[in-house]
Amino acid sequence: MIKIPQKINKKNFFTDIPESLLLWFPDDKPIWHILGFIPDVIIKIYEANKDQYVEIGKNIYVDKTAMISKYTEIKGPALIGKNCEIRHGAFLRENVIIGDNCVIGNSTEIKNSVLFNNVEVPHFNYIGDSILGNYAHLGAGAKISNVLLIKNKKERIAELQKNDNANILKEVKIKMPDGTWIETNRKKFGAIIGDYAEIGVNTTINPGTCLEMDMFVPSSVSIGGYFKQSFVFSKNILYGMQSQAD
């Protein structure tokens, strides 16, 4: 049984959870609860709004106002909301919910994730086992990793070969600002990204990252852990004052 982490409050991440998803963000469950039930969520939303969607493939439901490039690959279950733009080369793997007015761009891959409304992931992004709040934006090349690197891989593989019940992947935990760790009970877990987040180009978001709303993350950094709204990231490149000399 997952112990509800009181330190992680959905009100610190989202000003407004889309109405169709509210049922899946109960107060007695962790924010990431929905990640284990995405196929159920998709079916429930579709069955309640059948006139709104077109089924373009097995368990792939697309709002009639969405624009889907013919060079996009989508594997169901998937649900895409109003006025979305799914651009050339996007790859939506199983268990993806895309809210309204979202942009999914060239060479962006998404799996087992939920995007709220007005999210932009337009260029070369990867999003795995994550939740992105309203108006979140990932710069080109920003990635959300969802699996911990494997230490002592040779030994772990040998153990796996001897024991069918062994699991090579470790549980992803969230490191809090006070140094304590929150268990997620998930082997694959990327990030919870709050509303209005701005993530710079080529930034890496490591497994188990939580960013409260209104976060600004500069380009080309690697981050992990829990970051409160007041946290200010230091820039890895300092821009000097331009010389005033003629």
Domains recognised in the chain with CATH numbers: 31-227 (2.160.10.10)
Amino acid at 15: T
Gyration radius from the chain CA atoms: 19
Name every residue whose Cβ is closer than 8 Å to that of residue 203 and which is 6 or more positions away in sequence: 139, 141, 142, 143, 217, 218, 219, 220, 221, 222, 223
- pLDDT tens for each residue of the chain, 246 residues long: 445 566 799 999 999 999 999 999 999 999 999 999 999 999 999 999 999 999 999 999 999 999 999 999 999 999 999 999 999 999 999 999 999 999 999 999 999 999 999 999 999 999 999 999 999 999 999 999 999 987 777 776 777 777 776 677 889 999 999 999 999 999 999 999 999 999 999 999 999 999 999 999 999 999 999 999 989 988 655 454 444 444
Q: Is the entire prediction scored with pTM above 0.75?
A: yes
86: which strand partners? 68, 104
| DSSP class of 135 | T
pLDDT of residue 166: 64
CA distance 134 to 80: 15
5: preceding bond cis by omega (within 30 degrees): no
pLDDT of residue 55: 97
- Pair 181, 173: CB distance under 8 Å: yes
